[in-house]
């Protein structure tokens, strides 16, 4: 694997700011996001092939998935083709995944992946963020009680000492810390 190809893996609990950080990296630093797959319905503001590839249960598994998770009542995953398409366009790309997916990328691409784990104060703070983004209360409660959510509320052991942990209490601070981290990793 070409060591000039780098991958920023963004992880943390649902509602921790992963998509917001990905959007910032794209808009302010030109980091191309990898488009991932999901079986959930698009939110009002989302577009197929831009925010996600919105799939059926059948089409989801027709991809060459690097990782996938059943989260709430939906599936999410990323494909080898999606990663390669992004790397064909740029040397530095990003992806938003759960912590188990982050481990997969570290294991598969140890020389290319850098993991950023976003941490927040509490479940109540995350619940409010999910409400603010327009999720239904039923879906929010399903997500907050899921095994994956509970796992991702703290840095899992397999990411300790392998992930850059950022407390997302103030997004301006997050942006500054992430810029510094990426700069150091790209020059090392």
Return the CATH number at 30.
3.40.50.300
Residue 45 belongs to a domain? no
Count of structural domains within the chain: 1
Residue 161 belongs to a domain? yes
How much is the pLDDT for 109? 94
Residue 78 belongs to a domain? no
Residue 175 belongs to a domain? yes
Beta-carbon contacts of 25 under 8 Å, excluding residues fewer than 6 positions away, are 8, 31, 33, 94, 178
Domain containing 149 equals 6-34+91-187
Residue 19 belongs to a domain? yes
The pTM of this model reads 0.81
Residue 40 belongs to a domain? no
Residue 174 belongs to a domain? yes
Residue 182 belongs to a domain? yes
pLDDT per residue of the chain (188 residues) written in tens, 0 to 9:
687 899 999 999 877 889 899 999 999 999 999 999 999 999 899 999 888 999 999 999 999 999 998 877 899 999 998 899 899 999 999 999 988 899 999 999 999 999 999 988 766 776 776 778 777 888 877 777 777 766 667 888 999 999 999 998 889 999 999 999 999 999 87
């Amino acid at each position: 694997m070409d060591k000039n190809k780098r991958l920023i893996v963004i992880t943390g609990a649902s509602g921790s700011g992963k998509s917001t950080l990905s959007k910032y990296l794209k808009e302010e630093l030109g980091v191309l996001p990898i488009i991932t797959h999901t079986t959930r319905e698009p939110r009002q503001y989302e577009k197929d092939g831009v925010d996600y590839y919105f799939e059926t249960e059948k089409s989801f598994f027709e991809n060459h998935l690097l990782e996938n998770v059943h989260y709430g009542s939906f599936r999410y995953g990323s494909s080898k083709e999606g990663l390669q398409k992004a790397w064909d366009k740029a040397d530095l790309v990003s992806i938003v995944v759960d912590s188990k997916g982050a481990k997969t990328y570290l294991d598969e691409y140890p020389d290319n992946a850098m993991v950023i784990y976003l941490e927040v104060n509490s479940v109540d703070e995350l619940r409010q963020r999910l409400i603010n983004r327009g999720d239904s209360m039923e879906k929010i409660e399903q997500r907050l009680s899921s095994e994956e959510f509970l796992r991702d509320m703290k840095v899992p052991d397999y990411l300790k000492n392998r992930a850059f942990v950022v407390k997302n209490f103030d997004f301006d601070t997050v942006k500054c810390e992430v810029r510094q981290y990426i700069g150091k990793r790209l020059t090392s």
